[in-house]
Every structure is written in C-alpha cells, then in structure tokens.
Amino acid sequence: MFISKAYAAAAENVDALADIAGAPTPAEALMWNLGLVVVLVALFYVLLIMPQQKRFKEHSDMLNDLKKGDRVITSGGLIGKIDKVIDDKEVIIDLGNNIKVTALRSMIQGKTELKPKDVANKNNDSSAKWKSKSDKDLKDTKTSKNKKKV
C-alpha cells in the first residue's frame, strides 16, 4: 500500500532485465549458428562425399586395369569375358557360345568370378513339354464342363 506505482514498475523491469542478462549477444548467437553450420558441413563431407569419391576412384582404377580374359559383369547384368580391348572407352565382351557384344567401359560394374552357363548346348525341348501339358489341361477342362452339364 505504501509502495508507489513507479517503484513497483521499476522492480518488475529489474526482474525482466535479470532474466535477459543470461542470453548471448547477437554476435555470440551468430558465431554459434555459423559454428553449427560448419560442423554439419564437415560431417556431410566426411560421411557422404569422401566414401563416394573413394568408390569412384576404385571403380576408375578397376576400369583402367581391365585386360583380355577378365570376367566382368555389366550394368545390364550380362556376365562375360573380355575378348578384346578396342580403346580406352570400349571393349568386346564374349558372353559365351561365341556371342560377342561391344560395351562401353563405363558400363562395366566390376570383375566377377561367375561363369556364364552354357544353356544353348542343352538339348531340352521345353516347348514340347509345355505343349503336351497345355493339351492335357485343355482336355481336363472340357471333361469338367461336360460333367457339370449332366
């Protein structure tokens, strides 16, 4: 009751100023924000860019070391053996059964130990199997329709 309104208002401002005193200055806040951005950029570089560059360099070295007789797999999934190196951009790949394709070196994914299977030399007549099976299925469906009508 004996307190004046001006004294009471001044006391409230002092409490508010005491709370603000712990806050950083604008220059300090800017430094903290820039520091955080620098840390994030460094993490991005170390975790994403460096490993990608390492993989790219290993792949480039592998492509430069390709020679006749190396077994490779292409980006299309074809597995074959290098028959001839045409130039620094193209190679001829033997896929087996005397099938040869020209491929860009950049389309070779890597070297492999897998060997292409020789499927053309097998004497399997799969079309005859399917034909006889489908004829049998047709007969079965005809007899089942006839049974339903009776």
Domain boundaries, the chain: 5-57, 68-111
Whether the CB-CB separation of 52 and 94 falls below 8 Å is answered with no
Classified by CATH at the fold level, domain 68-111 comes out as SH3 type barrels. (2.30.30)
pLDDT band of 13, cuts 50, 70, 90: low
Buried b (16+ CB within 10 A) or exposed e, 100-134: eeebebeebeeeeeeeeeeeeeeeeeeeeeeeeee
- d(CA 80, CA 27) in angstroms, rounded, equals 63
* Per-residue model confidence as pLDDT tens digits over 74-129: 999 999 999 999 998 999 999 999 899 999 999 999 998 876 665 445 545 444 44
Say how far apart CA 9 and CA 3 lie, in whole Å: 10
Give this prediction's pTM: 0.56
